[in-house]
Amino acid sequence: MSEPAPRELPIAAGDVAPAFDLTAVDTGGGQLQVRMPKAAEDGPVLLIFYQDDGMPICTRELTAIALDYELLAGAGVRVFGINTNGLGSHGKFQERDHFPFPLISDFHGEAVKAYGFWDAEERKSRRALVLVGQGGVVRHVVPHFNPGNVNGKVEIFEALGLLS
């Protein structure tokens, strides 16, 4: 699989989600491969872009989604956190916080860059939510996701048809 091209601006609804094949760490510390857009073949995928494992705001960001994980899973949504931390860091973060979804390691930042969330100054991902639908088409994007602002989650739930 060829490396997707970096984007200057964040991905937008209607764009095709860039392909990636990356390793993730699940709640129990096991590893699995996550392939996009294949992961969205059976239903929507919610990608949670975050900066660092274990940092307070990032922990709140993932926890904000984890609190509604059952609702999302019940609606057929597969959820993944993604950043540039390595598998060891993800394993420790999962051991500490037990997120109900896997954490993808994009160690070299290719996917983060391809989705337009690379912070060149900090050399890591920005916070965002990306909802990818069947066919790998982006359905909704919440750039600069702030876990203290419930509107970002509401937007995702509306895009999924869970709120009217």
User: Model-level pTM?
Assistant: 0.94
Is residue 2 one of the residues assigned to a domain? no
d(C-alpha 25, C-alpha 33), whole Å: 9
Question: Could you list the residue range(s) of the whole structural domain that residue 131 is in?
Answer: 20-159
Is residue 111 one of the residues assigned to a domain? yes
* Identity of residue 161: G
* Identity of residue 118: W
pLDDT tens digit sequence for 126-152: 999 999 998 899 999 999 888 888 888
* Identity of residue 85: N
> How many domains does one find in the chain?
1
User: Which CATH number do you get for residue 132?
Assistant: 3.40.30.10
pLDDT tens digit sequence for 47-86: 999 999 999 999 999 999 999 999 999 999 999 999 999 9
